[in-house]
Structure 1
Amino acid sequence: MASGQEQQIAENGTPNVAPLDERKLDPAVALAALDETAPREPHRLFALKHGDCFAVADSYGDIRGIGDGFFRDDTRVLSEFRLTLGGRSTSLLGASLSQDNVLFTANLTNLPIKSAGGRDIPQGGVHIERVRLIWQDRLFERITLSNYSQEHSTVLLSLRFAADFRDMFEVRGSTRAQRGTVRAAEVGENSVALRYDGLDKLERSSVLSFSQAPDRLLENRADFYIAVTKRSRRTLYVEVGAEVADTPGVERFRGATARARFAMRAKRRHGATVHSSGRVFNDWIQRARADVALLTTELPTGPYPYAGIPWFSTAFGRDGVISALQMLWLNPGLARGVLAFLAQHQAAETSPFSDAQPGKIMHETRKGEMAALAELPFGRYYGGVDTTPLYIHLAAAYAGRTGDMDFIDGLWDSLTAAAGWMEEASRATGFVTYQRAAASGLANQGWKDSVDSIFHADGRMPPGPIALVEVQGYVFAAYRGLAALARRRGEDARAQHWQERAETMRQLVEDRFWLDDLGTYALAIDGEGQPCEVRTSNAGHLLYVGLPTEERARLVAEQLLSASFQSGWGIRTLADDAIFFNPMSYHNGSIWPHDTAICTAGLARYGVREQVVRLMSGTFEAAVHFNMRLPELFCGFTRAPGEAPIAYPVACLPQAWSAGAAFMFMQACLGIEIDGWKGEITVTRPKMPIGIDTLVIRHLDVGDVSVDLNFQRIGDRVAAFLGDRSEGLVPLMVRS
């Protein structure tokens, strides 16, 4: 039996309509299109991106204005875009992204509806396909109706739309005392222009254009009566951009698709590729590579991986550096682009509002109205305590991977300025610390930057300034890397100074952070010199940079691999006996794939090889449950037989450093190191991912030579050798 609302729609629909050219459409009738009671499972979201535009929609292809939308330059320019057929929502058959992340496709069918002539159309009579892409600041959509019923039908297809022009931070929950002016919609024959005059004196617009004139076009809805004969199809094209389009149609749609796919192929061709004997494993690797390419934006300084969609689709310092480190062995060009951009935006003056100090490296940049008006500090914000040492570490790692000293020479003034900031930041305590300079800034400024992520064992919040354990490890690595670069430049005095700073930091961390009773390092030291005696994954980052002694690294490894941390899907950010442990929290017990990968790389550095394989396997199996795409984070519940990992409800997807984690895991498993100075490859105690017997890395650049590096399981051993298609000779050393 139909619900009361369904009965009303059936009775007040359009059963007795005039011929199409004589019809007078009733807006109230068409607005009955939104049947809010229609089932909307599953609630998956799908993202598309190009440049500084991205779109997030549900499985139906609908935008509902609840965190989703079409965004341009940190402004939501389409907050609603919903399709109905015959006055009702549709039924979902399936939705997917193309393997290259260019096209989103939703396959839908009708619920029981009335045709325009009043005839009953049973569920499943009409197939609706929505195909969407973004190209050059414009959203393109193709909507195809195919009639599989035995009757000719004219059906009402309605598109409801709106643009609230909310700043990204408003979408995330910020409130504003005042907003700009939304203009009255400009309704044309086959287009509607929605415009907003911002308080920053910029006009923002969203123009919807249709391939055919709607039968009725209002400021928030387009109605089309589409005649579909049996066994035939009809297609409607829609475009959304800053200005009215030339008439949308098949040629424009195909042209945009071809150009978008060509551009994506070009990005995916950068660097080496990986192929294995495992089909499902290959799917994960290909999706991860496609996600990195999707999030990578070509800036004037080179490629830069934006952090994640929807909340962080912009250049972040820390995220960009870590993503570049994950991909460095395969694609060093990404690191070069990140370094060039961050050097260009390095702070040159002190600003409490933006937490800027001379030499400091940027944390985040935004282009929205609120940032332009300084309603918040994130237009160009420097409140990340770890970005500066990570920037130096990436520069040294890039030089070691490529031998590109010319590029490093061009960065040298920036690198020495960054080192100067580190020295100044550690002058008072010996550690690089943080304490926000203005109330508008971030309270916590490491990668765990939520307000409750740094705490004492009894739950007290530590007073600042705060020294995070992993940050001191990054500083150690930065000084050590700078010392090596200075020696190559013939600056021996500077090299000696930075080497001494590195060793001093190593000793300070060992003396002040180590907790004998817990067998690990403290999370942080507060402004009163008291350690936060909490077991966290942060200590694993010290293994990644090689700071601990062998004995202490072994103890940290035992902690990370214990049941307190190891969920079966990855390493939790916080031990399960901590006072604030919550597997559903953002930072206090959840699993972040990039964090697990960094810890895994640290374990590999200290020779814990078998566990590295198991950690990669657990992460891969989690990815399978997430349709091959690792989210920003997921819940830290212990794995149970037959159960899937539990999603964190508002995680970014895709996220650059989650996608890049796959390649950091792979490098850790295979034991690959590439020496750009010597032009050689070293493979140390290689292990294969579980279930994989052969694996090849194609077109791996070592200096001017491109080689194929093969791995093959032989009994309980793994052999590594160069392939026949290699374009030159490169020394390969395999250590067992």
Structure 2
Amino acid sequence: MDELLDAAVSLDERRLDPAVALAAMDESGPREPHRQFALKHEDCFAVCDAYGDIRGAGDGFFRDDTRVLSHFRVYLGDRTPSLLGASLSQDNILFTANLTNLPLKLRESTELRQGVLHLERTRFLWQERMYERLALSNYTGKALSIPLRLDFDVDFRDMFEVRGSTRSKRGRIYEAETAPDAITFRYDGLDQVVRRSVIAFSRTPDDLARGRAEFTITIPNRGREVIYVEVGKDHAVPGRERFRAAAARARWAMRSKRRHGALVYSSGRVFNDWLTRTRADIALLTTELETGPYPYAGIPWFSTAFGRDGVISAMQMLWLNPGLARGVLTFLASHQATETSPFSDSEPGKIMHETRKGEMAVLRELPFARYYGGVDTTPLYIYLASAYAARTGDLEFVDHMWPSLCAAADWIEQACARDPDGFLTYRRAAGSGLSNQGWKDSADAIFHADGSPPPGPIALVEVQGYVFAAFAGLAELAERREEYEKAAHWRALADKIQQAVERRFWMEEHGYYALALDGEGRQCAVRASNAGHLLFVGLPAPERAERLAEQLLSGPFYTGWGIRTLAETELPFNPMSYHNGSIWPHDTAICAAGLARYGDRDNVVKLMSGTFEAAVNFSMRLPELFCGFTRSPGEAPVAYPVACLPQAWSAGSAFMLLQACLGLKVDGWKGEIEVTNPRLPIGIDNLSVRHIRVGEASVDLVFERLRDRVVCYLDRRHEGMAPLIVRS
């Protein structure tokens, strides 16, 4: 067990900063996420490059946190084709790579000139299978026999091995079993699970061995020949009908998911393209679990249920699709801790941080099968529940959730009682856990002004804001349940922590809140974006909120693309780091929502504009993070090398920013829509929100720019269905 814990400690340092994990991987090719393409269906996902190739670094086809296809490349003759272009369909279902041949010597000793063959690779995932169509077209003016080769391999590596962990022992990989049209790989895991991966072809290869399949494709002039390939748990016979039928089902299922919740349309074509891609990314990452829809965090490293990520993603989409929040809350309640375990960092009432299904998690080589080492997840869970109730007026669901919410509140209260100031702190319970347990969870993310690591237990500033919001939200729910004693108790706790934050975290000489307090009660006197989250929950007094907001929008933080996680004047600042100077779109969006809460909607428009323009430079897909370099005329934002793409809370940032611009709030208790001092994004003259639910009604809202004002009104056919209150 000691060896396993030592291995897990090593893994912890790698898993926190993906750049370290990348350095430990197979160097068969650089991983550039903004030039890679991801597909997902339920608990399977695939990542490839623009050629459609899987090269064996951080890419592959994964099923339940295990890589079931680690190498998959196409050759014409013995040469890699030349790339013409690659794209994902608008609904994120189909990946297509368009390729052509380089100069090629054929078997009949003729030289084939470049650019006369077209190879189209089309791929999608459906029900734990990867489907691929290779269509080869001939434009030479004569019939040809073309040699085509597929190289492949299966390593059955656990996700954490792919990310850099070294294991002392693995299960057994068998010799591949070949059939005329398929090859089967098998791995018997140490967890007693037999994993298979079968690669099957629609036509029989001329030669099929463990690592390759060779074909001779005879194509008439202007003709087209197709090979279908499937990768799954068992042997199937690929073909045109199977491919078309599975693709149709996959597209129908995605269309159904994208229809959940209200829809947004604007007068801006490019802006609409961004919102459409963003909505498709959220649908792609949302997995239908037994408890309802849950947005998985991101591909490739975090394609699983995370507590914090799921809650924030649901919060971002709450005004449009409250059903997502309901699914997140139900899942997290069903996985709430009921026992104390240092290994998993669990205590009764605590809400889960992460869950994994891979071999290493099952064997407890690491604690992430069901891990509770997130200090902010529990208060965020309560805050989401209160926000969901306010959005929907669904008191019946609150009644159902009440025991779980009370258990979560009890854990927070008991944990706060351990700290002299009554703050919620963290210190990992076992060496195998995360050393930092806020959203900035890399090992070097929390520090004193001189860069030294603080002793624990650590109280993060934003976490105290979440606790304030959790207790305030619970107090309101308790009043609606006529539990007035509990309401008074929780309101007193909210007031107490608000006063304590103002007293202990405020740095008058900086006009800002400290990043954290260490275990000795000393301030980590660092200006970080974490303090902006206090605006989101409404904790700061107005005068301090104004000073905080002014700094977030100043040069040390604001780059033109978004808000840096750390002011550039701080000692450990590095715009290329994971958490110490980079830009995280969800972080920028939370700060923007905070500005809107305090009435600063014009600067929200500014942040929305920078984020949108960054998205345009990333092909309409905001990555998990990007580098925090200051924007220069004519230059694009700089990508972070190993960011997840897509990432749920990065995608949801678009809609959180948009809500902050519009000043829109749905009051589920009153059955009203409130719009306060609305603004439209730069370049947008009108925008409509269609089918937004207000109680039992579904209405359409229209925002329109009239000279220097933005007006909002209900579509005529909905007049009288739901009160609309507009405040300028």
**Are 1:306 and 2:296 an aligned pair?**
yes
**CA 1:39–1:635 in structure 2 vs 1: closer, same or farther (change >3 Å)?**
closer
* In structure 2, C-alpha distance between the alignment counterparts of 1:411 and 1:372, rounded to whole Å: 29
Identity between Structure 1 and Structure 2 (%) = 69
TM-score for the superposition, normalised by structure 1: 0.94
* In structure 2, C-alpha distance between the alignment counterparts of 1:43 and 1:120, rounded to whole Å: 36
* In structure 2, C-alpha distance between the alignment counterparts of 1:653 and 1:40, rounded to whole Å: 12
**Are 1:368 and 2:353 an aligned pair?**
no
Which amino acid in 1 is paired with 2:274? W
SS state at 1:426 partner = helix
* In structure 1, C-alpha distance between the alignment counterparts of 2:580 and 2:460, rounded to whole Å: 15
Deviation at 1:117, TM superposition (A): 1.9
Spell out the pairing of 1:663-678 with structure 2 (5 A cutoff).
663-678=655-670
**Are 1:703 and 2:695 an aligned pair?**
yes
**Are 1:87 and 2:83 an aligned pair?**
no
TM-score for the superposition, normalised by structure 2: 0.95
**Are 1:181 and 2:172 an aligned pair?**
yes
SS state at 1:71 partner = strand
Q: Deviations over 1:477-520 (max 9, x none)?
A: 00000000000111000000000000001000000000001111
SS state at 2:417 partner = coil
Deviation at 1:630, TM superposition (A): 0.2
* In structure 1, C-alpha distance between the alignment counterparts of 2:28 and 2:384, rounded to whole Å: 52
* In structure 1, C-alpha distance between the alignment counterparts of 2:391 and 2:32, rounded to whole Å: 47
* In structure 2, C-alpha distance between the alignment counterparts of 1:698 and 1:323, rounded to whole Å: 21
Residues 43 and 58 in structure 1, CA contact (< 8 A), matched pair in contact too: no
Spell out the pairing of 1:61-460 with structure 2 (5 A cutoff).
61-245=52-236, 247-429=237-419, 430-460=422-452
* In structure 1, C-alpha distance between the alignment counterparts of 2:697 and 2:114, rounded to whole Å: 60
* In structure 1, C-alpha distance between the alignment counterparts of 2:29 and 2:377, rounded to whole Å: 47
* In structure 2, C-alpha distance between the alignment counterparts of 1:688 and 1:590, rounded to whole Å: 27
Residues 40 and 92 in structure 1, CA contact (< 8 A), matched pair in contact too: no
* In structure 1, C-alpha distance between the alignment counterparts of 2:392 and 2:686, rounded to whole Å: 27
Deviation at 1:710, TM superposition (A): 0.3
Q: Deviations over 1:609-631 (max 9, x none)?
A: 11110100000000000000000
* In structure 2, C-alpha distance between the alignment counterparts of 1:43 and 1:573, rounded to whole Å: 21
**Are 1:60 and 2:51 an aligned pair?**
yes
Unaligned runs of at least 5 residues, structure 2: 1-26
Deviation at 1:726, TM superposition (A): 3.1
- 1:28 corresponds in structure 2 to none
Which amino acid in 2 is paired with 1:274? V
Deviation at 1:460, TM superposition (A): 1.1
* In structure 1, C-alpha distance between the alignment counterparts of 2:285 and 2:31, rounded to whole Å: 28
Spell out the pairing of 1:568-583 with structure 2 (5 A cutoff).
568-583=560-575
- 1:519 corresponds in structure 2 to 511
Deviation at 1:724, TM superposition (A): 2.7
* In structure 2, C-alpha distance between the alignment counterparts of 1:123 and 1:347, rounded to whole Å: 61
Which amino acid in 1 is paired with 2:174? R
* In structure 1, C-alpha distance between the alignment counterparts of 2:136 and 2:107, rounded to whole Å: 15
- 1:635 corresponds in structure 2 to 627
SS state at 1:116 partner = coil
- 2:40 corresponds in structure 1 to 49
Q: Deviations over 1:593-612 (max 9, x none)?
A: 00000000000100111111
Spell out the pairing of 1:472-511 with structure 2 (5 A cutoff).
472-511=464-503
Residues 287 and 628 in structure 1, CA contact (< 8 A), matched pair in contact too: yes
- 1:23 corresponds in structure 2 to none
**CA 1:113–1:344 in structure 2 vs 1: closer, same or farther (change >3 Å)?**
same
* In structure 2, C-alpha distance between the alignment counterparts of 1:453 and 1:41, rounded to whole Å: 23
* In structure 2, C-alpha distance between the alignment counterparts of 1:55 and 1:497, rounded to whole Å: 49
Which amino acid in 2 is paired with 1:374? R
Residues 43 and 59 in structure 1, CA contact (< 8 A), matched pair in contact too: no
* In structure 2, C-alpha distance between the alignment counterparts of 1:88 and 1:364, rounded to whole Å: 43
Greater mean deviation of Cα atoms: 338-347 or 116-125: 116-125
Residues 31 and 642 in structure 2, CA contact (< 8 A), matched pair in contact too: no
Deviation at 1:230, TM superposition (A): 1.1
Residues 471 and 494 in structure 2, CA contact (< 8 A), matched pair in contact too: yes
RMSD: 1.4
Which amino acid in 2 is paired with 1:519? G
Which amino acid in 1 is paired with 2:411? W
- 1:12 corresponds in structure 2 to none
* In structure 2, C-alpha distance between the alignment counterparts of 1:42 and 1:465, rounded to whole Å: 35
- 2:549 corresponds in structure 1 to 557
**CA 1:43–1:601 in structure 2 vs 1: closer, same or farther (change >3 Å)?**
closer
Deviation at 1:302, TM superposition (A): 0.1
Residues 625 and 644 in structure 1, CA contact (< 8 A), matched pair in contact too: yes
**Are 1:608 and 2:600 an aligned pair?**
yes
Residues 707 and 728 in structure 1, CA contact (< 8 A), matched pair in contact too: no
* In structure 2, C-alpha distance between the alignment counterparts of 1:99 and 1:628, rounded to whole Å: 11
Which amino acid in 1 is paired with 2:150? L
* In structure 2, C-alpha distance between the alignment counterparts of 1:454 and 1:327, rounded to whole Å: 29
- 2:21 corresponds in structure 1 to none
Of the two structures, which has the highest relative contact order with CA contacts closer than 8 Å and spacing of 6 or more? Answer: 2
**Are 1:734 and 2:726 an aligned pair?**
yes
Deviation at 1:42, TM superposition (A): 10
Which amino acid in 2 is paired with 1:691? G
Q: Deviations over 1:297-325 (max 9, x none)?
A: 00000000000000000000000000000
* In structure 1, C-alpha distance between the alignment counterparts of 2:67 and 2:545, rounded to whole Å: 47
Deviation at 1:151, TM superposition (A): 2.4
* In structure 1, C-alpha distance between the alignment counterparts of 2:615 and 2:434, rounded to whole Å: 31
* In structure 2, C-alpha distance between the alignment counterparts of 1:574 and 1:459, rounded to whole Å: 13
Greater mean deviation of Cα atoms: 648-657 or 145-154: 145-154
* Residue of structure 1 aligned with 2:585, choices 583, 590, 593: 593
* In structure 1, C-alpha distance between the alignment counterparts of 2:250 and 2:107, rounded to whole Å: 38
- 1:693 corresponds in structure 2 to 685
* In structure 1, C-alpha distance between the alignment counterparts of 2:28 and 2:55, rounded to whole Å: 14
Which amino acid in 2 is paired with 1:316? F
Residues 355 and 383 in structure 1, CA contact (< 8 A), matched pair in contact too: yes
**CA 1:38–1:78 in structure 2 vs 1: closer, same or farther (change >3 Å)?**
closer
Spell out the pairing of 1:705-720 with structure 2 (5 A cutoff).
705-720=697-712
Deviation at 1:115, TM superposition (A): 2.2
Deviation at 1:428, TM superposition (A): 2.2
* In structure 2, C-alpha distance between the alignment counterparts of 1:662 and 1:696, rounded to whole Å: 15
Deviation at 1:677, TM superposition (A): 0.6
Q: Deviations over 1:378-428 (max 9, x none)?
A: 000000000000000000000000011111111100000000000011002
* In structure 2, C-alpha distance between the alignment counterparts of 1:576 and 1:37, rounded to whole Å: 35
* In structure 1, C-alpha distance between the alignment counterparts of 2:73 and 2:263, rounded to whole Å: 39
**CA 1:525–1:672 in structure 2 vs 1: closer, same or farther (change >3 Å)?**
same
Residues 337 and 346 in structure 2, CA contact (< 8 A), matched pair in contact too: yes
Which amino acid in 2 is paired with 1:63? I
- Higher Cα radius of gyration: 1
Deviation at 1:43, TM superposition (A): 7.5
Which amino acid in 1 is paired with 2:380? L
Residues 34 and 645 in structure 2, CA contact (< 8 A), matched pair in contact too: no
Deviation at 1:149, TM superposition (A): 1.1
**CA 1:137–1:38 in structure 2 vs 1: closer, same or farther (change >3 Å)?**
closer
Deviation at 1:644, TM superposition (A): 0.1
Deviation at 1:334, TM superposition (A): 0.1
